[in-house]
């Protein structure tokens, strides 16, 4: 049996680390939110551009002179548009989180 030293009344093992409370309420987070909204807008523009690139209208003329219009859909650009749109949504949700942290989060008052 190994006899390890036991802590006495004042010393604790492992020693407690001094707490440095993380500050959540920082006004600069509002600028981060603004930047993320701009990035989300650019991503949304790219998603619409990809979507329109993935849908092509094809017009043919039949033998009797009738014009037939149809749309051809390409999967790659459509999938890219959906992916970019999803990333834009995630960035926008994080922008809302950053804005709420910039405005609302406050430190807890210590109870003695």
Q: How far apart are CA 100 and CA 33, in angstroms?
A: 9
Residue 51, burial from CB neighbour count under 10 angstroms (0-12, 13-18, 19+): middle
Residue 48 domain-assigned? yes
Q: What is the pLDDT of residue 101?
A: 87
Band (3; pLDDT cuts 50, 70, 90)? confident
Question: What tens digit of pLDDT does each residue of 63-106 get?
Answer: 898 999 999 999 999 999 999 999 999 999 999 999 998 887 56
Q: What is the pLDDT of residue 27?
A: 81
Neighbouring CB atoms inside 10 A of 7's CB total 8
Q: What is the pLDDT of residue 13?
A: 60
Range of the domain at 41: 28-103
Question: What tens digit of pLDDT does each residue of 8-49 get?
Answer: 666 666 666 666 666 667 788 899 999 999 999 999 999 999
Higher pLDDT, 107 or 41: 41
Residue 55 domain-assigned? yes
Residue 45 domain-assigned? yes
Residue 1 domain-assigned? no
Question: What tens digit of pLDDT does each residue of 49-62 get?
Answer: 999 999 999 999 99
Residue 51 domain-assigned? yes
Tally of domains in the chain = 1
């Amino acid at each position: 049996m190994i006899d390890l030293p036991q802590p006495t009344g004042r010393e604790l093992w492992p020693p407690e680390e001094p707490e440095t409370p993380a500050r959540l309420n920082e006004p600069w987070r509002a600028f981060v939110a603004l930047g993320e909204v701009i990035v989300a807008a650019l991503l949304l523009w790219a998603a619409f551009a990809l979507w329109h690139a993935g849908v092509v209208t094809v017009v043919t003329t039949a033998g009797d002179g009738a014009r037939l219009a149809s749309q051809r859909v390409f999967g790659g650009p459509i999938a890219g548009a959906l992916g970019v749109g999803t990333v834009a949504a995630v960035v926008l949700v994080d922008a809302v989180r950053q804005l709420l942290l910039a405005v609302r989060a406050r430190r807890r008052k210590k109870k003695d």
